[in-house]
Amino acid sequence: MVISIKLVDEVKKRQMSNKRICTIGLFLLLLLTACQKQQTPDNDTSQAEKEPVIHQLQIPYEEFRKVIGWVSGEDILVHLGNAEEDQLAVYDLHTGEMDVIYSLPAYILSVELSDDADKIALQMIDGTTSKVQVIDLEGTVLQTQEVGASSYVGMDWNPEDDNLLFISYPEFVDYQEKTVLKMWDLATNEVVRLETSSLGTRWYSSNLYLFVDHNEDDTLEEGALYIGDIRTGEELLINSQVSEFYLHEDSFVAMTPSDFNEDELLLSFQYPFMVDKGYMTVPKVTMNERLVFPYLSQGKRNGAIYGVLPKERTTLESEVGEYVLSRLDFENHTARPVMDLPDSAPISVSNNQEYTLYGWQYEYVINLDKQTIQPLLQSGNQSF
């Protein structure tokens, strides 16, 4: 800004009174201050624009099925659908850009991203036929396999070989429920049926897998952890007191009722698997005397493990309970609270550990650093 003050006589200016000089100086100081204040909002706005924001999905609420999971630190895989077709799309949370990668005139039931997020396994219902199809992130169909399931199937990618996929579902034979576990080798398109008693069988390595046998205990209080080998078909007992487990990369958390307090659940942490690194106890949750296990998630190998934990012992048939998103510190046997949550629903931490998805459809995004929660849909519940 240029300020021009016309002075009549340069000689007379030097003879001006001190009062006149002070007045001009004060005027210039006030004017300079005003200019700086006018520039400050622009600077603040520029700084705010640099901070990433979460953009909500611009789709009708009825066309939203669920968020599948993280493709990257800011990209998520979204399942959409209407009466004509179902779609899978990659959505950038920071830009709001959506790229539909796959569409088909059929219903998509189950969807599972591979560990490195470059392949997608999906279960589709075409008429009365249930099929599992594998596509890449460009939407190219790589393999298709018909399965005999009449309902949802569970799928689990091998963490070291993404040509191997577990497919599991219940099967009724002579009015008795049995577990079907199939190993699909995408490289050869060969399917092998494995014997197991658990729908929660998980890959541990390229050849080994883990599962819990509850031995028909409906309360899930009793359980034994087994490890199996696809090369030999052998299954070995690892721990006779494990009711459930969480597994991600080399992190393993065993869950079992406490021997010292009937209102607590014991969480034992191993990193890597079979190497004890700590433990903690959390309040127990049950539904009609059946154990309900906490939801855990880890964004990357050896990263922080987060969990949705109850604040106190809860029986869901009589109360909803109160829950808190916590960062688990097994070494110090504590859970460090992040923020309160309304329900014990699944979470999925991003690989950069900045966010976690939350909700039964992963319909919310939580900023772990700022401890804020935002719905992904405009018509979603915004009561937080």
DSSP 165-231: EEEEEEEEETTEEEEEEEEEETTTTEEEEE--S-TT-EE-SSSEEEEEE-TT-TT--S-EEEEEETT
In a domain, 53, yes or no: no
Answer yes or no: is 360 within a domain: no
The mean pLDDT values, 10 residues at a time, for the chain of 384 residues are 36 41 42 46 50 91 97 97 96 97 95 96 90 97 92 95 96 83 96 90 97 94 96 94 96 97 97 96 97 97 97 96 98 97 97 97 97 88 53
Name 72's Cβ contacts closer than 8 Å, sequence gap at least 6.
117, 351
21 domain residue, yes or no: yes
Q: Residue 208: inside a domain, yes or no? A: no
- Given the structure tokens 């992130």, which residue do they identify? 137
Q: Is 76 part of any domain?
A: no
Is there a contact between 321 and 310 (Cβ–Cβ < 8 Å)? yes
Task: Measure the CA–CA gap between 313 and 328, rounded to whole angstroms.
Answer: 18
Q: What pTM was computed for the model?
A: 0.85
φ, ψ (nearest 5 deg) of residue 173: -130, 120
Structure tokens given for 14: 């030097």
356 is written with which tokens? 């976690």
Cα–Cα dist 283/315, whole Å? 11
C-alpha–C-alpha distance, residues 348 and 140, integer Å: 26
324, 339 in Cβ contact below 8 A? yes
pLDDT score at 383:
52
Edge-to-edge, what's the strand order for the sheet holding 164-173? Answer: 154-157, 164-173, 176-185, 190-194
> Considering its fold, how many domains does the chain have in total?
1
Whether 117 is in a domain gets the answer: no
Is 27 among the domain residues? yes
- The answer to whether residue 26 sits within a structural domain is yes
Domain range for 41 is 10-46
Q: In this predicted structure, what is the pLDDT of residue 50?
A: 65
